């Protein structure tokens, strides 16, 4: 990492996010013209918000694309996770740009930037607030339009939806804590090596 300054990596990652966002916005997809527009998709919110929010969203949005988290469902019934119709609008390279490149970018940033996490209670409260806010937004869109943002939600009962949403929120919290542990491990190890 010493050969490439951290700032150059950050600019490269930012340009990558920007190019993906521009390519995504250039798509003339019917879902973009419906209630909520692109803002109903967690991937879009993540790309617009900032790469830091991507850390949270990338772990929960696996049901919205062809990420590894949805692999089993995708193999079982692709239409439930990522309808084939979307291939006509979103090229494979762009789909991977929005869903797959997140992990290497997170790892690069984690290795090049020591993040100062807030207290556990504040951090977890922020993660839960974001998660619950997005879940309420998805439910509101369904209330207004009668259509779920993610087709998977059409196939599960109301009680299963509650369990699903609670599980997603729990998993987000676990990944947040894992990110904090990894961040501290990487940077504590570097401090020990310098001594």
- Per residue in 116-140, pLDDT tens? 899 999 999 999 999 999 999 999 9
Domain that holds residue 189: 6-194
**Percent of the chain at pLDDT exceeding 90:** 29
Q: Give residue 173's pLDDT band: very low, low, confident or very high (50, 70, 90).
A: very high
Residue 122 inside a domain? The answer is: yes
Residue 1 inside a domain? The answer is: no
The C-alpha atoms of residue 69 and residue 62 are separated, in whole angstroms, by 5
pLDDT of 4 > 80? The answer is: no
The C-alpha atoms of residue 193 and residue 195 are separated, in whole angstroms, by 6
Residue 143 inside a domain? The answer is: yes
pLDDT of 79 > 60? The answer is: yes
* Count of domains forming the chain: 1
Pick from 71-75, 88-92, 103-107, 113-117: least confident: 71-75
Q: What is the pTM of this model?
A: 0.74
User: Which tokens is 33 given?
Assistant: 């013209």
162-to-130, 132, 146, 149 alpha-carbon distances in Å: 16, 11, 18, 16
Residue 25 inside a domain? The answer is: yes
Pick from 33-42, 127-136, 157-166, 168-177: least confident: 33-42
Structure-derived torsion over alpha carbons of residues 178, 184, 189, 192, reported in degrees to the nearest 10: -160
Element (H, E) at 146: none
């Amino acid at each position: 990492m010493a050969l490439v300054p951290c700032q150059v990596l950050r600019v490269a990652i930012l340009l990558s996010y920007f190019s993906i966002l521009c390519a995504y916005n250039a798509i003339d997809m019917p879902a973009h013209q419906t209630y909520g527009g692109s803002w109903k998709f967690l991937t879009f919110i993540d790309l617009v918000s900032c790469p830091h929010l991507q850390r949270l969203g990338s772990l929960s949005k696996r049901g919205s694309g062809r990420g590894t988290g949805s692999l089993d469902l995708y193999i079982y019934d692709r239409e439930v996770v990522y309808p084939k119709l979307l291939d006509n609008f979103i090229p494979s390279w762009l789909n991977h740009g929005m869903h797959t490149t997140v992990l290497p970018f997170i790892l690069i940033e984690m290795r090049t930037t020591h993040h100062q996490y807030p207290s556990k209670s504040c951090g977890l409260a922020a993660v839960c607030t974001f998660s619950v806010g997005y879940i309420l937004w998805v439910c509101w869109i369904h209330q207004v339009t009668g259509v779920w943002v993610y087709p998977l939600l059409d196939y599960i009962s109301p009680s299963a939806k509650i369990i699903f949403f609670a599980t997603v929120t729990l998993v987000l919290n676990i990944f947040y804590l894992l990110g904090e542990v990894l961040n501290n491990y990487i940077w504590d190890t570097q401090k020990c090596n310098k001594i």
